[in-house]
Structures are given as structure tokens and as C-alpha cells.
């Protein structure tokens, strides 16, 4: 039942083709989070801050990294029961903002696998690079597979 | 380039807080924009079947709203060098006009590097009296 510890360190190469960051996708995302910062929609405003095109909000890159992490999540050798999984932690380390026109590739790596009190913790790092191979952002995803409830747990955990 | 100067902030400096309303419509819109169509974020029947009190907001939506307190403060979102959170409690979004409210406050917790002009900002996010993000921190490069 436990996740296979021997997979710590395993890397999953980028999927082809790279993700192309579109201006209108950034606009849609900024609208969905209600963020009117013009640097997300107006090339001139982005240019005034020194960017060659509109940039994306900080968390925009999550869906790209999470898509790449599907290779890990669905790896049959790992044995993750996704029906028990919740998103525990999320972190980003930026080299620069994602911007329109980027063609991004993600390499996912299993950083750690841990087990505590029947819950399992899976850490996946995503190295996001642009088409020249320069690092744009590193993403850190922690998934928690909640323990399978045993019959006697229902009384212990009732709250 | 951030519009806040490193020299002008101290440990304890508070950023202007903000409250972000979330309705079911907000969640449908975010589902489309992010590609996360998990039914716990829009289907009340499904959410209850898996043991949730009601439809809940995407954790990544809450994470996206919280950092706006920082990006609105510094102006340039590219000044955010690191950002991380723990999802501690869900934001429960009832099916009415009001929906839920995510209340975010933030303060400068540390001045990290005088040369790089970086500070650590600690964020706090609550909804319906519950702390919805833990260990919510950003590293920001100031002017």
C-alpha cells in the first residue's frame, strides 16, 4: 500500500511539445483571479517595467507544472491512489516571471516520499525552463494521500 | 522594479490588507482559466459525497488571491522571487449571492539581504474565521 521509496530521485522528462504561453490565456487567468494589474494585459505597461511582453501572475505556472506532474501521479510503479490525494503545500522559486511567448518545458522529479500516521506525503519538484533552456521557475508540489480509514478509526477520529 | 524602497520598510511593516469575495461563478471562471475541473469546486452533490461540507474553492485560487496583497504593494509582480503556502483549511463557498470572503493581511517578517534588497513577507489568510493558509511566505526584492 505504501508508496515505493525507491522512486525518490526519479525524473520524468518534459512532454512534447512545450507549453506556449499566450497573451489571451494570461488575460483570461488574470480576469479569473480578478487581478487588474495592467502588466498582465498591456504590453506597454509590461514594457515600462522592462518586460518584452505581458507577464503572468505568479501562480499561473502551476497548471503547467501540475500537468507535467501527471507523469509522476500516474506512474504505476509509484502506486498513488489519487482518490485519496489532497494538495498539501505549494511553493515557487522564480528566476524571472513567466511571459507571453514563452515556450516552457517541465522536468518533474520525485524529491521525497514520506509516511506519517498512515498519511503519505509525496514531494514533486518541477524545473520549468524556456526554449533556450534557461530556468524560469522551480515549482514544489506536496501531495498528501490521506490514510485509508479502518473501521475502528471512525470512532477515534469522529469530530 | 518594485515601487517600495528597501530602506523604507522595517520588520513589522504592514502591507495594505485586502478581502477577496468568492462566489460559485468565481470558481467556475477559475476552473476554466486554470484547467482544474475537479467537481468538488463546482458540484455540491459531489462535494458532499466525498465528505466536504459544501463546494470549496480551489486551493490555488486562494493562493493566487493572497499574493495580490504583495503584488499590489510592490507594483511589479516580477519582484516576487519566492512564494509558498500550506493549504490548512478549505474555503467553503455557499450557493448564494455573497459566497465566501478570503481576508488577507501581510507584514514584513524579515529583512533578508541589504545588498539584494530582499525581504520576507508573511501572509495570513482567513475565511469564515478559519485560517485557510499556513506558512504563507513570499520573498520579495524591493527597490
CB contacts, 8 Å: A88 with chain B: 86-87
3-state secondary structure of B95: coil
Residue B110 pairs with which residues in a beta bridge?
B120
Within 63-122 of A, beta carbons closer than 8 Å to B belong to 63, 66-67, 86-94, 96-97
Angle A104-A91-B135 from CA coordinates, rounded to 5°: 165
Rounded mean pLDDT of chain A? 92
Of B67, B78, B83, the CB nearest to A49: B78
Residue A48 forms contact with B (CB below 8 Å): no
pLDDT tens digits, one per residue of B68-88: 999 999 999 999 999 999 999
Q: What is the ipTM of this complex?
A: 0.96
pLDDT at A152: 55
**B15 band by pLDDT with thresholds 50, 70 and 90:** very high
Cis peptide before B109 (omega within 30 of 0): no
Interface mutation vs chain A, best among B24, B33, B112, most A CBs within 10 Å: B33
- Confidence band, pLDDT 50/70/90 cuts, at residue A36: very high
* CB-nearest partner of A33 from B30, B59, B78: B30
Cα distance between residue A87 and residue A90, in whole Å: 8
Range B6-21+58-141: architecture per CATH: Roll (3.10)
- Which residue out of A21, A85, A90 would a mutagenesis test of the B interface target, given it has the greatest number of B Cβ atoms within 10 Å? A90
A159 pLDDT more than 70 = no
pLDDT tier for residue A5 given thresholds of 50, 70 and 90: confident
Q: What is the domain partition of chain B in residue ranges?
A: 6-21+58-141
pLDDT of A20: 98
Point out which residues pair with B92 in neighbouring strands: B56
> What is the nearest CA distance from A58 to chain B, expressed in angstroms?
7
Distance CA A20, CA A101 (A): 6
Domains delineated in chain A: 5-21+56-157 (3.10.129.10)
Whether A89 and B85 lie within 8 Å, measured CB to CB: yes
pLDDT at B123 over 90: yes
Using the predicted structure, report yes or no on whether residue A156 has a pLDDT greater than 80.
no
Residue A87: closest CA among chain B residues belongs to which residue?
B87
Contact B86 A94 (CB under 8 A): no
Q: Do A29 and B34 touch (CB under 8 A)?
A: yes
Model confidence at A68, pLDDT cuts 50, 70, 90, reads: very high
Q: Which helix (H) or strand (E) holds A109?
A: strand A103-116
Amino acid at each position: 500500500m505504501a508508496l515505493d521509496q525507491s522512486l525518490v530521485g526519479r525524473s520524468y522528462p518534459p512532454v512534447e511539445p512545450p507549453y506556449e504561453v499566450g497573451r489571451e490565456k494570461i488575460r483570461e487567468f488574470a480576469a479569473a483571479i480578478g487581478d487588474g494589474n495592467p502588466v498582465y494585459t498591456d504590453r506597454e505597461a509590461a514594457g515600462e517595467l522592462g518586460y518584452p511582453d505581458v507577464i503572468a501572475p505568479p501562480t499561473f505556472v502551476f497548471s503547467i507544472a501540475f500537468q507535467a506532474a501527471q507523469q509522476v501521479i500516474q506512474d504505476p510503479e509509484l502506486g498513488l491512489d489519487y482518490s485519496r490525494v489532497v494538495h498539501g503545500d505549494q511553493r515557487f522559486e522564480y528566476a524571472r516571471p513567466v511571459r507571453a511567448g514563452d515556450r516552457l518545458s517541465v522536468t518533474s522529479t520525485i524529491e521525497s516520499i514520506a509516511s506519517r500516521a498512515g498519511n503519505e506525503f509525496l514531494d514533486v519538484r518541477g524545473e520549468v525552463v524556456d526554449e533556450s533552456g534557461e530556468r524560469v521557475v522551480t515549482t514544489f508540489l506536496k501531495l498528501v494521500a490521506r490514510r485509508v480509514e479502518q473501521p475502528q478509526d471512525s470512532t477515534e477520529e469522529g469530530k | 522594479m518594485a515601487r517600495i524602497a528597501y530602506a523604507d520598510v522595517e520588520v513589522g511593516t504592514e502591507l495594505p490588507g485586502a478581502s477577496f469575495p468568492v462566489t460559485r461563478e468565481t470558481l467556475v471562471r477559475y476552473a476554466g482559466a486554470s484547467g482544474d475541473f475537479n467537481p468538488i469546486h463546482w458540484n455540491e452533490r459531489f462535494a458532499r459525497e466525498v465528505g466536504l461540507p459544501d463546494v470549496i474553492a480551489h486551493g490555488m485560487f486562494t493562493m493566487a488571491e493572497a499574493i495580490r496583497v504583495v503584488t499590489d504593494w510592490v507594483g511589479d509582480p516580477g519582484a516576487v522571487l519566492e512564494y509558498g503556502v500550506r493549504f490548512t483549511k478549505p474555503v467553503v463557498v455557499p450557493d448564494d449571492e455573497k459566497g465566501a470572503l478570503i481576508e488577507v493581511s501581510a507584514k514584513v517578517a524579515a529583512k533578508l539581504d541589504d545588498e539584494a534588497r530582499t525581504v520576507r513577507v508573511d501572509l495570513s489568510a482567513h475565511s469564515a474565521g478559519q485560517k485557510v493558509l499556513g506558512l504563507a511566505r513570499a520573498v520579495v526584492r524591493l527597490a
